[in-house]
């Protein structure tokens, strides 16, 4: 299949810059506004085609990409009649939400019955990676289908890994997020202690950056933590959702760090859910 037309659902902190990169790579981009009209206006000014309904958007797409907040939106959008009735064997769904493996498998089962091919393709790399087109994609599904959509994914990502069957992408993403949430809490504590002990931030970066306590999270979040800048980025309520997926998948296994991290994110969700997930350290850094 020669892919020309890409439909994109979920134009948020991640989706908007990812969609811009598709336009830059020459794809015909099809979008529709949800509640917020601004991303569609921006994309239109860069050449995207706006539709007034999901039906129209889906009907005009070879490949459909979705990157929605949670399982709930995956279910309500991807299993809706508007989307399902307008996709056929010619189409591929590239599902990039950080959702649960179970929801991904449910969506796939329904699509498979209609002969619609699916790739499970959550991402890592944050909004910076989305803007720069350097995301990591953790794919689940069939290699032949992945190869078919690879040129589209190349416009948004630097690394694309085929991890296993449908659901394996969401599973490894949940493991990554479990680590990222724990590392975020640990990084906040490290910055708080460095401030109390009057260790200069640049010294922390240089010395710990070259020592065994270093982490991607500490190196990438130390500046915003010391500035007490909690602008998202990646919202705290989405991180809670991700750690919840990991803990749910663990079932009766005991994961003490993940369970504690989940409780901490739950406790903060009401007050700071819409802030960046680094706001988990707000109290300790106040």
The residue ranges that bind ligand NDP (CB under 6 A) are: 9-15, 34-36, 67-69, 73, 76-77, 97-98, 123-124, 126-127, 233-234, 238, 242
Of 3 and 13, the one with the shorter C-beta distance to ligand NDP is: 13
- Give the residue from 60, 56, 80, 59 showing the smallest Cα distance to 68: 80
Q: Which is nearer to ligand NDP, 9 or 258 (CB)?
A: 9
| Smallest distance, ligand NDP to C-beta of residue 274, A | 9
Residue whose pair of structure tokens reads 């994609």 in the numeric block: 137
| CB 206 to ligand NDP: min, Å | 26
Provide, rounded to whole angstroms, the least separation between the CB of residue 2 and ligand NDP.
27
Residue 9 or 262 having the CB closest to ligand NDP: 9
- C-alpha distances in Å from residue 234, one per residue of 84, 131, 149, 238, 241: 30, 14, 26, 7, 12
Q: What's the distance, Cα to Cα, between the start and end of the chain in Å?
A: 55
Helix (H, G, I), strand (E, B) or coil at 170: helix
CB of 193 to ligand NDP, least distance (A): 26
Which parts of the chain fold into alpha helices (H)?
A: 15-24, 38-45, 54-59, 71-73, 81-84, 101-113, 126-132, 143-154, 168-196, 201-203, 209, 216-226, 236-250, 256-272, 282-285
Distance CA 144, CA 161 (A): 13
Cβ closer to ligand NDP: 181 or 208? 181
Nearest by Cα to 66 from 25, 108, 125: 108
Rounded least distance, CB 252 to ligand NDP, Å: 26
The residues carrying an active-site annotation are: 173
Max CA-CA distance within the chain? 62
Residue 22: how many other CB atoms lie within 10 Å: 22
CB-nearer residue toward ligand NDP: 19 or 222: 19
Q: Which residue is nearest to ligand NDP (CB)?
A: 12
Q: Which residues contact 14 (CB under 8 A, 6 or more apart)?
A: 67, 96, 123, 127, 130
Q: Which is nearer to ligand NDP, 194 or 218 (CB)?
A: 218
Contact 32, 51 (CB under 8 A): yes
CB of 240 to ligand NDP, least distance (A): 10
């Amino acid at each position: 299949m020669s892919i020309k037309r890409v439909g994109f659902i979920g134009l948020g902190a991640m989706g908007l810059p990812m969609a811009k990169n598709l336009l830059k790579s020459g794809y015909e981009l099809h979008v529709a506004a949800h509640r917020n009209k601004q991303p569609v206006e921006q994309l239109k000014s860069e050449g995207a085609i706006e539709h007034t309904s999901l039906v129209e958007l889906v009907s005009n797409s070879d490949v459909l990409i979705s990157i929605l907040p949670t399982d709930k939106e995956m279910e309500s959008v991807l299993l809706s009649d508007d989307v399902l009735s307008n996709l056929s064997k010619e189409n591929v769904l590239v599902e990039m939400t950080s959702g649960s493996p179970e929801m991904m498998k449910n969506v796939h089962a329904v699509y498979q019955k209609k002969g619609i091919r699916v790739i499970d393709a959550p991402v890592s790399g944050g909004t910076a990676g989305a803007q720069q087109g350097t995301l990591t994609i953790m794919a689940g599904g069939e290699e032949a289908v992945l190869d078919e959509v690879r040129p589209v994914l190349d416009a948004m990502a630097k690394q694309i890994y085929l991890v296993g069957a449908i659901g394996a992408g969401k599973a490894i993403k949940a493991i990554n997020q479990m680590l990222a949430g724990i590392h975020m809490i640990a990084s906040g504590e490290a910055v708080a202690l460095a401030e109390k002990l009057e260790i200069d931030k640049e010294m922390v970066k240089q010395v710990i950056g070259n020592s065994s306590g270093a982490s991607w999270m500490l190196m990438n979040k130390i500046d915003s933590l010391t500035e007490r800048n909690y602008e998202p980025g990646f919202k705290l309520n989405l991180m809670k959702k991700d750690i919840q997926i990991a803990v749910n998948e663990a079932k009766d296994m005991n994961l003490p760090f993940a369970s504690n991290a989940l409780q901490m994110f739950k406790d903060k969700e009401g007050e700071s859910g819409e802030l960046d997930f680094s706001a988990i350290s707000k109290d300790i850094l106040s």
